[in-house]
Amino acid sequence: MTQPLNVREAIQLARQLASRELTATDVVSACLERIAEREGEVQAWEFLDPDHALAQARELDRGPVRGLLHGLPVGVKDLFDTADMPATYGSPIYAGHRPAADAASVALCREQGALMLGKTVTTEFATFTPGKTRNPHRLTQTPGGSSSGSAAAVADCMVPLAFASQTAASVIRPAAFCGIVGYKPSFGTIHRAGVKALSDCLDTVGFLARSIDDVALFAAAVQGERVLPDLSPAGAPRIAMCPTHEWPQADDDTRAAFARAEQVLARTGVLAAALPLPTPFSGLLQAQKEIMAFDLARSLAHERLRHPGRLSEGLGQLLRQGMEIDVDRHRANLHKAAAARAAADSLFGDADAVLAPSAIGEAPAREQTGDPVFGRVWTLLGLPCIHLPFATGRTGLPVGLQLVGRHGDDRALLRMAAWLLPRLKDG
């Protein structure tokens, strides 16, 4: 039976679009049909204009093949500016706001021939107040935050690719809860111009898809590459298990996934020595929380001062906490983070990458977005991370782990992930 277009992987669609075996209109129409069928329940989209999407598709079909993403529909997290669609940043303060220009990553994506299908729901200023989106695997559960709409739309086959961003765990956690691949590149890899700023030393543009090949394609295109990335491994990697200092918070589902992964690595002969984080790294979780709160209170100064009544109670409290952190403490936290980043490469020992928890466990109820505890330290360190979905928890919802690599070794991390994920699934 022929696989529906909206279900196919982006890399397969990209080849068929480049050869003109498919048209962009075909692919967009299939995605719009899926959205029409499911959006009433999943509620992944903040803004969608089907006529505009189809007009973009027809224009692409009339012209030459533009790049790696030619004709591929992309969901854009509503934290990213778009010149042809509103950007509300998850807040009523910006209802109807129309940016003058695309975010850099969006513009670069268009340059490679991608079609921006619509804007996906984000939480309020990409923080912790849930949006309307539901987990497509179980509508009573959260899709995570803050890239909630993007993760749900990809998981439900409404779109093959979607932009995300991470300041604490907003790429990895939604990917974990929705059972898809989430890739947070090394800090500074993807230009952040035109993405609503939260923290200058934490914010990272990321990518969501349903396969390793797809996130690799997406990231390569946004970085300006013109050929499909080769993810063939140079050899079997050495991978260590790293439960992190936050391990006591992991529930039985994450612990079971961790044990299963350790058995797979041992059986395939690639398990490196366990990686316990040194004691000084135990303070990084609090440092990340304080740096994020300090920066949020200042990056959202206009909103905090001019529109306090239009902020949620939770965000208002977080901003007040951020204002209570004095400059000297903030400098000390930044110094601690810089020292840890400088030492991060040496942590790996003879391992090429480490496997660590992505989330506490299965997605909780959608009145919350889930605790970002297992993403915060890796974000602070600026290391590349990719969520690998390979298991289910006790109630049947997705569970997985994140693979973490050395700063700047993103292509190597993607190759290792492509080697590892099928082995974990076969378990």
In-domain check, residue 409: no
Q: Given this model, what pLDDT does residue 234 score?
A: 79
**Lookup: tokens for 102:** 């695309």
Residue pair 253/393 in contact by the 8 Å Cβ criterion: yes
Integer angstrom CA distances of residue 279 from 107, 168, 245, 282, 404: 43, 21, 9, 5, 19
Q: Is 170 a catalytic residue?
A: yes
My answer on whether omega of the bond before 146 falls inside 30° of 0, hence cis, is yes
In angstroms, the CA 113 to CA 63 distance is 10
Q: Given this model, what pLDDT does residue 1 score?
A: 65
Q: Which residue of the set 29, 91, 165, 170 is catalytic?
A: 170
Inter-axis angle of helices 104-111 and 212-222, nearest 10: 100
Q: How many CB atoms lie within 10 A of CB 377?
A: 26
Q: Which residue of the set 29, 91, 146, 199 is catalytic?
A: 146
The pair phi, psi for residue 401, each rounded to 5°, is -135, 165
In angstroms, the CA 278 to CA 230 distance is 35
Q: Is 77 a catalytic residue?
A: yes
Q: Given this model, what pLDDT does residue 188 score?
A: 96
Tell me which residue range forms the domain holding 207: 5-222
In-domain check, residue 417: no
Measured over the CA atoms of residue 307, residue 312, residue 315 and residue 320, the dihedral's sign is positive
* pLDDT, mean of each 10-residue run, the chain (427 residues): 93 97 98 98 98 98 97 98 98 97 98 98 97 98 98 99 98 98 98 98 98 98 92 91 96 98 97 88 95 98 98 98 98 97 92 98 97 98 98 98 97 97 95
Q: How many CB atoms lie within 10 A of CB 83?
A: 16
In-domain check, residue 12: yes
AA identity, residue 172: I
The pair phi, psi for residue 403, each rounded to 5°, is -100, 130
Q: Given this model, what pLDDT does residue 276 score?
A: 87
Sheet of strand 204-209, all strands in order from the earlier edge strand to the far edge? 45-48, 115-120, 73-77, 161-166, 204-209, 181-184, 385-392, 398-404, 353-357, 239-241
Residue recorded with tokens 């209109």: 25
Single out the residue of 184, 128, 72 nearest to residue 410, CA to CA: 184
Q: Given this model, what pLDDT does residue 281 score?
A: 87
* CATH code (residue 87): 3.90.1300.10
Residue count of the chain, please give it. 427
Domain count, the chain: 1
Q: Is 165 a catalytic residue?
A: no
**Lookup: tokens for 166:** 């991470």
In angstroms, the CA 122 to CA 90 distance is 5
**Lookup: tokens for 25:** 């209109």
